[in-house]
Structure 1
Amino acid sequence: MVSQMTMPSARCGLVCIKDQYQRCTSVQGYIGMTQCLRMKLSLEKEYKVSRSPSNLSQYSMMQPLVLYDILSELPGNNFSPNPAKPRFVLSYKDLPFVTLWVEYSDISIAMKAIGGKSSKRQDGSDVYTIPVLSDPNTGAVITDSLEIASYLEKTYPEKPIFPNSSESLIRAFDSDYLSLIRPAVKSIFTRSVEILSPASAKFFIEVRSQDIPLPWDANYDEDWDLLEKGYNTAYEWYQKTDGKWIMGDTFSYADIVVACWLLWCKRVMKEEEWVRISSWNGGKWVQVLADVEKECKLA
């Protein structure tokens, strides 16, 4: 087991080293987060970090990368599609990493503390988002799931996720795939609120409703029709390949994108809603998620 440590921060954070969890209590805000992580990373020998046997020598001297994800009330915490993408990439590439779970309501505080990059809202105000990846081996702090994927591919090119110089094409795919499910995202937001802490749920509604106005469940049946229509289009894309992946027989980040949006649905939706998605296109989407999880050693 990993030794217990106390992190100086005003709220409660949760550090996950693969499947080992530690609760870190606090007194002075998320600024202490970085200090705590440095202490933890100095004790790498105690971490239960899974590495592929073929890569043990390659990564034996590496400090684990730190992935910032959103804390939830679900077992295992993970639910959000964008932080899931780098988690899948890290696991696929056999890179050692730890996960630090942050309350949705504390994202701005936490990301400012570690030097995370903000983006701008339409009104010009700063907004901080997760995922963020911190690489203590290079000093890099990267924001946004696609930029994290690009960084990992350039810095750790073994087991490529953008094979055959396909990054530009997969960036376009990422945008096109999102456009298929965006019309139905309101219904998924409704379910996401239900698995957050009260403080984070309140903040989630305040923040997300600036981009997608409430009420989110006003057109439930129409949203589901749009979601099914989107997946029918995605199914046609798969039908044009010669293998089980978007690029035929070659696994890529495009497959991770599809799987992580499916994972979000599976994690937050009611059982009967996920069963409904599972029935579409002959069970295609359950199989895609299972295949990608297996490929990334997350099954």
Structure 2
Amino acid sequence: MKVVKDLSWCYEKWRSGQDVVFADCRFDLHDPDKGIERYRKGHIPSAVYFDLEKDLSSEVKETGGRHPLPRMEDFVETLQQAGISSDTTVIAYDDNHAFASRFVWLLTFLGHENVYLLNGGIKAWKEAGYPVDQDMTPRNKTTFKANVHKEFVADQDDVRERLNHENVAIVDSRSYERYAGIHEPIDAKAGHIPGALNYFWMDLFDERGFWKEPEQLKEHFYQLNSYDEIIVYCGSGVTAAPNVISLWEAGFQHVRLYVGSFSDWISNPENKIDTCN
């Protein structure tokens, strides 16, 4: 499954005037209003804004993590209001690839085949001299039919059942400091799910902020080739999404996102946590 597209491909799709919608997914976890503010100041013409916490997540509960999946009927309605039908080509972007990856994963989870990521994000678009504007004219409502792929998701029970399975890899997408339990700036407990392998999501990009080539990603993940299934998590199911995307790009087939991630895992006092101290 290949979803990362280069700038020229995305620009030609935009210029063609065909049934294409750009999804602006910029967000700031420390300042939730920053994303929409940046969108209002300038975005790819006709792009629709999707907010991580309002559109791509549902309300936080005692379990389920900090960014639970949105209710599917609500998200489908959001897509329809954005002018996205079952046949629309959708191209997502942001300014760090994390939130756009969450969006792309969500649409893929719903069975939408024509959804892609703009490599380099809004920065690459602007640096190429391509147009941006501030127009926010609503799009015409469409019909979107979901075909949910439940096999793309793992929950806490799935992870518990697969602990220590020799054919299942559990991948932690957070920084080594958080994985090791050295520094935990967000969650109430520090460390990682027992047996998890650490693949920091920021290592997927080059110094310019572009996704690494598929061959580089294959080399990056080569130790995972011996596993039949890969479950990916982070703190709350957001920055794990780029790892899922990259595993797809590298040719891995059976990849699942643990949406609740570490913030869900630690909500159960019976779950064990490992550190590297």
Larger Rg, first or second structure (1 or 2): 1
Higher relative contact order (CA 8 A, sep 6+): 2
